[in-house]
Structure 1
Amino acid sequence: MNILIITDVYIPNANSSAVLLRDLAQSFKKKDIDVFVLTLKESNVHLMKNDLPIREEDGVKVLRVKNFKKKDVGMIRRGLSEVLLPYLLYFGYCKYLRSVKPDIIISYSPPITLERTVKRMKKRYGSKVYLVLRDVFPQCAKDVGAIKQGLVFSYFERMEKQLYQVSDFIGVQSQSDLMSVCQMQGLNNEKVELLYNWIDFSPYRKQIARDFRSEFGLGDKIICLYAGNIGKYQELSFLFELIKVNRERKDAVFLIVGSGSESRGLKEAYKNYGNVIFKDFIDPQYYPDLVRQCDIGLINLNRNLTVQNIPGKLMGYWCSKLPVLASVNSGNDLMDMMEEAGGGFCSVTGELEAYNRNFSLLCEDKELRDKVGMAGYEFAVKHFSVDKVRDTILEHFIGENNHV
């Protein structure tokens, strides 16, 4: 059996989505399935002049296709990149892997423009499609002001409907998303299911190979880690209100790892603050080491979002037994999940007093941090196993005789 994962990000990109899909690919490999990944070429992936853009990485064949730069560029260039992306991926596959028929295609969204790639490949090869849906685009972009109601919004809205239609099954990350997608898109309840984010626990159980506390000169300070994209969806400007309020606190430091459209402005504005450290990139192989040496995991979402979003970084935090300090949009299912798990404290973005109160509780009580972190870990073990997600996906396509 051949499984093809189509995504715009993959390892060595440190994005949480890239790590999720790497873990899923490796889990499929454990079932002796041939796994292929169709993705974009990262700037830090170097190929020799005569090398093909496809190579085997830990038993997974990865085809990397060149695309225009997407990060830290203007909206026009970003839009052009998104529009061209599906065609570049499709023609890249046809050029280098045309003889390989994918029995199952797993598409990860966002971006929804991958619909064009999926649709063409399904028609060509007769593949079955499973969509892992994480952000409900374009509504989430409209919520944060990245897209306005109009022709562009309508264009992406039509593409969204087509993506749902071409998918045989859709996995969403929250109960609210499940209900919303079914009702708004008129989809059959049997087509859409709850599929939590997932993680491979094994890297978080190995001996730590890299001492980040010494490397970054953090000593025994309480390290509050934010790792991931720094864009409009995250509204990290509110996190920095918390950082500003606690500027004189000597026992805690905020470690911000990542990049995005808002990172340059934040770095410039807070470059003289002694309680914040910026790092653009951490090699993904050392990311579990980094998280396990921190004390609090940070999650932030824009207050104006009307759709659900449970960031993938939550998995790494709880895998590492970190208590989570979250600030999210009102009504987000993450609040209910955090309460059920007991794995952290969650407040609404914009409510600084509650946010700071939760921060102080965690900073001032190590026993509480340990207790809350362990609760999150136990919840993750029960619900977020990558092998469990793998089997959930395969159950839809494999019959008793193990044929798709």
Structure 2
Amino acid sequence: MRIIYITQHFPPEIGAAQGRAFDMSTNLSNLGHDLHVLTAFPKPSSTLFSKEKVNKLSVYRSFQIRDTKKSSIRRLANYLSFMVSSVFSGFRVRKPDIVYATSPQLFQGVTGYILSKIHRTKFVFEVRDLWVDFAEILGQFKNKRLLDLARKLERFIYNRADLIVVVTHGYKDRLIGMGISADKIIVIPNGVNPPSLEAPAQARDVKKELGIENQFLVLYTGNIGAAQGLQTIIEAADKLKHDPSVCFLFIGEGVEKEPLMEKAASMGLTNVRFLEGKRKEDLASYYESADLGIVSLKKHPLFEITIPSKVFDYMAVSLPVLIGVEGEAKEIVEANEAGFPFEPENADDFIRALKLAQNQPERLLTMKKGLRGHLLQSFNRETQAKELSDALQKLQK
């Protein structure tokens, strides 16, 4: 099948959305499908449109207004500009069999719907998070009129899609509760691509580089945003500032990074380090040196039906986690002996879980040995691509 795959975020950008889009589109192409990826330029460009070949993928890049991360109007302009430009990119693809658009933001769904009508073909929408709900609870949508319009757009896209792909069973239940037919919803969770499990050729000794050879290293990688509730970790670090055995390392970017750095500095914390965001392949040495990873979200019922992709990223590198997420994510960690839970936004309970892990080195070692096997058994992206391929082919019949 010829598939148009719409994703605003794609490598060389760094992040979970980019990783899933690249892995899924690549795996579909490896199954014999003809993939045409519509995405944005990764950084400001004087060129409006371009086309390149990435492995077997035809990648069409188009302009977007830069998102400064500090203005809601600027962010909306970023979304809308890509929505418009990606429609024009879609004109360049000879009649596809499927138009596949992936969220989080809804306007990619508008692009998908428009192109499906223009090409007279099936429209598939992938829901990777409940964008409108999360925008509301995180205070990103404060205008009630805009919020109502966003909800109407969300329902419009869900109703027009021929197939909806969600990443958790909780998301499926929520859409069914909105009146969307269960028959057109399938669950394809996040996971890991087997080729990414290859060990680094030569891992650096990160602890030695940072001067923390004898310390227990607790690592957070990824988006440092409003949803992650990372203030709790800084509060815990403050409570542990006289404990020389523990060091916290944050690697990533996001709207909350600067405030967290300022808070750590104001508290005089020497047990917290911040580094810039890095590509997945450049993180290998940090994963290898860390003793635990952090998976954290704010305490809210909606996050209980969310599974952060970071759970799978840490499992893929055999790194047990401290998980501050209730619901499905916590159940996965417990079922696969992948880490230690703590109550979201509770610094004291975070410290309890951390010390429980730190004082059981043999249990940590046992966990590390089993993580990749558990992961490949249940969350293999190559297997997931076959499931998606079967669903798309069924849609064609």
TM-score scaled by length of structure 2: 0.91
The one of 234, 240, 244 aligned to 2:234:
240
The one of 142, 162, 165 aligned to 2:159:
165
Percent identical residues: 20
1:110-131 superposed Cα distances (whole Å, 9 cap, x missing partner): 0111121011110011332332
1:312-357 superposed Cα distances (whole Å, 9 cap, x missing partner): 11111001111111112xx532122222222112222222222211
Structure 2 counterpart SS, 1:396: helix
Alignment match, 1:63: 60
TM-aligned CA distance change 1:56 to 1:160, over 3 Å: same
TM-aligned CA distance change 1:43 to 1:115, over 3 Å: same
Alignment match, 1:355: 350
Residue 182 (1) aligns with residue 176 (2): yes
Residue 118 (1) aligns with residue 142 (2): no
1:6-37 superposed Cα distances (whole Å, 9 cap, x missing partner): 11211122211111211112212322322222
Q: In the alignment, residue 26 of structure 1 is paired with which amino acid? A: T
Q: Can you give the 5+ residue segments of structure 2 that lack an aligned partner in the other structure?
A: none
Give the drift of 1:191: 1.0
Counterpart-to-counterpart distance in 2, 1:311 and 1:165: 26
TM-aligned CA distance change 1:334 to 1:86, over 3 Å: same
Alignment match, 1:34: 34
1:26-68 superposed Cα distances (whole Å, 9 cap, x missing partner): 2123223222221121129xx8x88962211223222222212
Structure 1: which 4+ aligned runs deviate by more than 4 Å? 49-52, 214-218
Alignment match, 1:81: 78
Give the drift of 1:298: 0.8
Alignment match, 1:9: 9
Residue 136 (1) aligns with residue 130 (2): yes
Counterpart-to-counterpart distance in 2, 1:215 and 1:5: 41
Retained in 1: the 8 A contact 2:103–2:109? no
Counterpart-to-counterpart distance in 2, 1:320 and 1:224: 14
Structure 2 counterpart SS, 1:62: strand
1:214-251 superposed Cα distances (whole Å, 9 cap, x missing partner): 55555353322211111111121112112222223333
Higher helix share: 2
Give the drift of 1:305: 5.1
Retained in 2: the 8 A contact 1:20–1:312? no
Retained in 2: the 8 A contact 1:142–1:149? no
Q: In the alignment, residue 65 of structure 1 is paired with which amino acid? A: S
Residue 211 (1) aligns with residue 171 (2): no
Give the drift of 1:403: 7.0
Q: Can you give the 5+ residue segments of structure 1 that lack an aligned partner in the other structure?
A: none
Alignment match, 1:192: 185
Structure 1 counterpart SS, 2:172: helix
TM-aligned CA distance change 1:133 to 1:288, over 3 Å: farther
Structure 2 counterpart SS, 1:254: strand
Greater shift, 348-357 or 372-381, is seen at: 372-381
TM-aligned CA distance change 1:224 to 1:101, over 3 Å: farther
Counterpart-to-counterpart distance in 1, 2:70 and 2:205: 31
Counterpart-to-counterpart distance in 1, 2:338 and 2:275: 26
Give the number of equivalent residue pairs: 393
TM-aligned CA distance change 1:285 to 1:170, over 3 Å: same
